[in-house]
Amino acid sequence: MIKQIQFKNNKKQTLRGYIHIPKKYNTAIVYLHGFPGSCRGTSPPRVGRDFMKLGYLVLRFDFSGTDTSDGKFEDKLISQEVKDIKYAIDFLYKNYKFKNLILAGGSTGAIDAALYASKDKRINKLVLISGVSYLDQAANYDFSDRQVKDFWEKGYIIYKSNKGKNHWLHNKKLKKQFYDEFFKLDIPSSIKKFKKPILIIHGDKDPHIPVIKDPLELKSFSKKAKLKIIKGAGHQFKKPKNWKQVVSSIKKFIKK
């Protein structure tokens, strides 16, 4: 069963998303979407569908300022996305009964997950998919040279969606404050504070984040971190065989 859900964050904004409910479950997964994506993008629906079939309760939602949720896209901050996570988990615990909680995220969602996990004792395990080790370096992955130039000269950038004029992201403004946080937030120290198991998954053909650097550095931040490299996989694991490996790796990690 898939249900639409909503809950309030610390700013009293309504965040919206979906919950995938199997007939029986004792483990819940909160999956965080990437940037500038949404919970209706490529990976979140797949995570919900496939892990519900495996008997996991899955919550995916739009961060504030994204697609169906309240808030302006132009005012987005990574630090606010991190705050939103607490209220998603609060919603789960208020409405569903389960024994274990897995926090997972893809791309920028992995950044959010890494920054938040140590703040919440309710989280049992952490899954980081296509993540980065240092945010200041990640700015080069998320923004083109032209966009960085616009940030400095105009104070904002304008997104043009390749999915058409009716796509929620088309013509959306994003202020420089979002970019500035890439040089302020600290992933290594956050991961070092999380003393529970971590699974890092990365494709060796990821064109955005070098496999020879970020995943290896991420693993070095925690003695409880395990790294799974998926051969032939890109940033979003679009090939069915690659995605099956992602699902299988997470399933094994959760069961251990």
Whether the ω angle into residue 36 lies within 30 degrees of 0, i.e. cis, is yes
Query: Is residue 229 assigned to a domain?
Result: yes
Query: Is residue 237 assigned to a domain?
Result: yes
| Domain harbouring 199, CATH code | 3.40.50.1820
Query: Is residue 50 assigned to a domain?
Result: yes
Residues forming beta bridges with residue 200, ordered by sequence position: 128, 227
Query: Is residue 153 assigned to a domain?
Result: no
Lowest mean pLDDT, pick from 15-19, 97-101, 141-145: 141-145
pLDDT in tens, 105-160: 999 999 999 999 999 999 999 999 999 998 998 888 889 999 999 999 999 999 98
Give, to the nearest 10 degrees, the angle between helix 78-95 and helix 108-116. Answer: 70
pLDDT in tens, 29-81: 999 999 999 999 999 999 999 999 999 999 999 999 999 999 999 999 999 99
Query: Is residue 149 assigned to a domain?
Result: no
Query: Is residue 163 assigned to a domain?
Result: no
Residue 39, domain extent: 2-137+186-255
Lowest mean pLDDT, pick from 147-156, 209-218, 220-229: 209-218
Query: Is residue 71 assigned to a domain?
Result: yes
pLDDT in tens, 240-256: 999 999 999 999 999 98
Query: Is residue 162 assigned to a domain?
Result: no
Helix (H, G, I), strand (E, B) or coil at 17: strand
For the chain, what is the domain count?
A: 1
153 burial (CB, 10 Å; 0-12 / 13-18 / 19+) is exposed
pTM of the model: 0.95
